Amino acid sequence: MGMDQGSARTPATSLSFRLGVLGAMAEARWAGRIAGHGVKPKHVALLSSLRLGAADSQLELAATLRVAPSLVVLLADQLETLGAVSRERDPGDRRRQRLVLTAVGERLLDDCVGAADALDEELVTALSATERAALTRILGKLAGAEGLPV
């Protein structure tokens, strides 16, 4: 009823807004923890896409990660320097550069995912077990619906 037109006190429940803020916060914290490995979230996203087989040519990678192809070159360069991926010309089409995870890359990815899981533990302390499960499931559904390399 006589609500002072809602706007004056309600903290804007928009998902887009909250997702953006929370996502930035979580990513920043996570970035701090994996920095010691010499990688940033984008690198891990690339490694993860490789493991999932979501893409292997650099152009496909750019599409799934939603970044410019030139950025993939840079990320791949750095990961190659770390020994986490190796570039192999596609024998069938020698324009294409296929990226493959090395054993080092697998290990690196595992470490970074481990760091994310550890951070999760801290983030969700305010949530019940049911809520945690629900959140994981729902975010997975959203990512899937958006065609993101979850």
Partner DNA sequence: CTTGAATCATTCACGGTTTGAATCATTCTC
Partner DNA sequence: GAGAATGATTCAAACCGTGAATGATTCAAG
Encoded one letter per residue, x for contact with DNA by CB under 7 A and - for no contact, window 51-90 reads: ------xxx------xxxxxx-xx-xx---------x---
Residues 6+ positions from 149 with CB-CB distance below 8 Å: 45, 48, 49, 52, 54, 55, 64, 65
Give yes or no for residue 17 binding a second copy (CB under 8 A): yes
Beta carbon of residue 86, minimum distance to DNA (angstroms, whole number)? 11
Query: For the residues of 56-113, what is the DSSP string, one character each?
Result: -BHHHHHHHHTS-HHHHHHHHHHHHHTTSEEEEE-SS-TT-EEEEE-HHHHHHHHHHH
Encoded one letter per residue, x for contact with DNA by CB under 7 A and - for no contact, window 14-43 reads: --------------------------x-x-
Site for a second copy in 87-116 (CB under 8 A): 106, 109-110, 113, 116
Residue matched to tokens 């970035």 = 31
What is the Cα 2 distance to its own chain's centre? 44
Q: At CA 62, angle to CA 98 and CA 90, rounded to 5?
A: 15
103 touches which of a second copy, DNA, none (CB within 5 to 8 A by kind)?
Answer: none
Contacts with a second copy, residue ranges (CB under 8 A): 7-9, 11-27, 29-30, 41, 44-45, 48, 51-52, 66, 106, 109-110, 113, 116-117, 119-120, 123-127, 131, 134-136, 138-146, 148-150
